[in-house]
A and B are shown apart, each in its own frame.
Chain A
């Protein structure tokens, strides 16, 4: 997803001379292609994330479109107040980009587990929150956010994810993407769990039941309308996020479902509890542990 982001960023920078990229001393072997092509619009601010966001806001208040880049937790939690006050309150044209969402850097320890970012940023006023599912969505997300002025948080995986989409889906702001049809259940995923959900659905199909699968790359604005439709269409809605269950996808779906009179959808949620978790764990093992892999999602579907 990282590569898709950087390539799309460079293409947009070619067309938009006001586009700047700031990094908090990260991006080795990733950001060089931007830095060498657009040296006057690239700044490594050093390991100083609070300053990075303030500088980004100042540039944006001077007419620039600015992208900040670091590993998820450092791009967000480290400088959250700057995001809130300098970016959101000014509605500054700053795009906060975090790499390594979920357990992408699982072996590196809890400081590098990006779990709370989505729900914390979803709580901030006036900021879009994006968690694309694969490199195709990552490219579309990058282009979309760069063409719309205003604060955005983009949570990426890292490198090496397979494309789930064979061709580019429609990617409208604030809308879920319907990837698979079915009527016996609906699985909604955010971030890189789309492939797991599709595998689970394919396996469930062998028992004669079909699950619809929707990708939700836009956590904010949230597609409450689609969820409201789902409330009367499906007997079960299962949400899955590689993130804490604390104000992200599950919570947003729950609020939307709860507001529908005559809802028949039972809500099941899969995600990471707000507890001290494993220190050293690969992404695949973490997904298995928290029921976020295909086997885990299938198990949730199979229980009434």
Chain B
């Protein structure tokens, strides 16, 4: 998808792929045939620049035909470079400007709590995104109100867009910070499907949960792993071929 459109953000998609696979494969109570099903779980991908990954997963689950993916990022396609809801079944909220998704997730969580049917809200954040102050406004609100049906996931790949997280704005001790705001914190390997499933299904009974998913930007493709430039670069045909080989030819 990304190669065809000469688009960017491959590295960020690969670090999130396992998280999305487990969410949509094993955790989310959603219905591809009835995307607006009442009392469904909701997923907001606040790191909207990983849109390609979300679209791929939604197509895989059957929310829309896989052939749509061929037009990702191209003229007139509903599949915009960053996550867009318009005309895309299964997308709960459009994102792309960092720092908005957790607030929207809080709103959805308040509504779901009022409905009392056990629906959960999951929000995927990037690590760089935690630089945005609005995230911490939402963190405070959810912590204060004990929004236990809200689960945030941080795709903690340690690289943002103009440097490593440790060089730009140090997040550690991240777990302690979030715990201090009233969240239950789980730290796991973000590429371990069993750990992901456990963390995402056993939410804290009284507090919002945050899963710090330690990941590798560009995971699975040797020449992309842990490299800043693959936030931006688009793979050449040769690179695409090698990447697909390394990933086991599973697109």
Contact = CB atoms under 8 A, between A and B. Distances in A.
Given A48-B140, A58-B103, A89-B94, 10 more contacts: A46-B140, A54-B100, A57-B93, A58-B106, A58-B109, A58-B111, A60-B107, A61-B107, A81-B100, A90-B94
Given A54-B107, A55-B107, A62 B112 contact: yes
A62 B108 contact: yes
Interface of A: 40, 43, 45-46, 48, 50-51, 53-64, 66, 81-82, 85-86, 89-90
B134 A54 contact: yes
Contacts of A57: 93, 103-104, 107
Which 8 pairs between the two chains have the least Cβ-Cβ distance?
A: A58-B107, A54-B103, A62-B111, A51-B137, A48-B137, A58-B104, A55-B107, A59-B107
Count class of interface residues, chain B: 20 to 34
Nearest to A49: B137
B107 A82 contact: no
Contacts, number: 91
A86 B137 contact: no
Contacts of A81: 97, 100
A122 B25 CA distance: 43
- The majority secondary structure among interface residues of chain B is helix
A188 to B, nearest CB: 36
B20 interface: no
21 contacts: A43-B110, A48-B134, A48-B140, A51-B106, A51-B141, A53-B103, A54-B104, A55-B104, A55-B107, A55-B138, A56-B107, A58-B103, A58-B107, A58-B108, A58-B110, A61-B92, A61-B104, A62-B112, A85-B97, A86-B104, A89-B86
B61 interface: no
Nearest to A85: B97
Contacts of B42: 62
Given A48-B141, A50-B134, A82-B100, A55 B106 contact: yes
B105 interface: yes
B104 to A, nearest CB: 4
B85 interface: yes
A81 B110 CA distance: 22
A40 B115 CA distance: 11
A241 to B, nearest CB: 30
Nearest to B99: A50
Contact of B114 (A40, A54, A82, A86): A40
Contacts of A45: 137, 141
Nearest to B105: A58
B108 A59 contact: yes
Nearest to A94: B107
Interface string B42-56: 100000000000000
Nearest to B134: A50
A90 B85 contact: yes
A63 B86 CA distance: 17
A83 to B, nearest CB: 11
Contacts of A86: 93, 100, 103-104
Contacts of B106: 51, 54-55, 58
A66 B94 CA distance: 19
